[in-house]
Amino acid sequence: MFAKHLFAVTLGSAGLFIALPSAAQSPPDVALTRIDCGTPVLNDVGPRFSDTFAYKDLKVWFTYSCYLVRHGDDYLLWDTGHAMNAGAPAPKVSIVDQLAQLHVTADQVKYVGISHYHADHTGQLPSFPDATVLIGKGDWDGITAPKPHAGANVAPFAHWISGGGKIEPLAADKDVFGDGTVTVINTPGHTPGHHSLLVRLKTMGNVLITGDLAHFHENYDGNGVPVFNTSRAETLASLDRFKKAAANLQATVIIQHDARDVGKLPAFPAAAQ
């Protein structure tokens, strides 16, 4: 009896001792909100989205999603979608106007993370001149090369190319706030410096956002590679890494362009916590 009692007390006080420092260091609340960054388009994916001719008559609704991550008082915007003058897929409401509905101003956005340099992810970047831009080094090199890469949407980066804005070219992952809650994940292949995003939420749990590592469920599930792609080998390796991370973290996977994944997060202006 005595030994059992002693054991319980020891365990209890050890548990208390461990709990105190971790409570003192607990990271700020993190919240994730989907921002609409384009008008959906029904895409005939056969011709361009498989280099193995996998999709004969498949048509997929493409959506254009950006994401606002709140970390305490700081904000990271993930991707900037289409420009307002992009034609049919242009957004109906700008990111800045959507942020206003959340009572967030453009100058509160500390970081803009860019998954890759294509036009449908970079269109509204000029609205955030005060932000530090996080972009894969391979993509930044492709934007700033004397002859920029085909497909690199150079114009929105003018402010950062000129040295007017802060830029962090990433050669690897980046733990954005230093506490593991928001990590930009190196997933090259679609473009040389392509990155994805991991957000670890207290209630919803882990969320992995693809960027364009995959464009829709069928090419995510079947390791499909689009025709317009920098490196097939790197894309397959990145898909392998991403899927293993998703399994190990029991993460909700959100394929940014797939309209079927929009409902995985609460509808704007609500946030996942």
- Residues at the interface with Zn ion (CB under 5 A): 120, 212
Closer residue to Zn ion (CB): 18 or 42:
42
Closer residue to Zn ion (CB): 120 or 261:
120
CB atoms within 10 A of CB 72: 12
Closer residue to Zn ion (CB): 41 or 96:
41
CB atoms within 10 A of CB 199: 26
| The token pair that represents 188 in the structure block | 């090259």
CB atoms within 10 A of CB 27: 15
Return the DSSP state at 208.
Answer: E
CB of 23 to Zn ion, least distance (A): 41
CB of 122 to Zn ion, least distance (A): 10
Closer residue to Zn ion (CB): 124 or 181:
124
CB atoms within 10 A of CB 247: 10
CB of 27 to Zn ion, least distance (A): 30
For residues 128 and 266, what is the distance between their CA atoms, to the nearest angstrom? 25
CB of 221 to Zn ion, least distance (A): 18
212 contacts: CB under 8 Å, gap ≥ 6: 115, 116, 118, 121, 190, 194, 256, 257
Q: Which of 191, 186, 154, 181 is nearest to 170 (CA)?
A: 186
Return the DSSP state at 212.
Answer: T
Cα angle 100, 196, 252 (rounded to 5 degrees) comes to: 85
Closer residue to Zn ion (CB): 212 or 258:
212
CB of 249 to Zn ion, least distance (A): 24
Q: Which of 122, 126, 124 is nearest to 140 (CA)?
A: 122
Closer residue to Zn ion (CB): 81 or 165:
81
CB of 158 to Zn ion, least distance (A): 21
Closer residue to Zn ion (CB): 120 or 139:
120
Tokens 């001719």 — which residue?
53
| The token pair that represents 233 in the structure block | 């080998």
CB of 212 to Zn ion, least distance (A): 4
CB of 248 to Zn ion, least distance (A): 26
For residues 28 and 44, what is the distance between their CA atoms, to the nearest angstrom? 43
Closer residue to Zn ion (CB): 206 or 229:
229
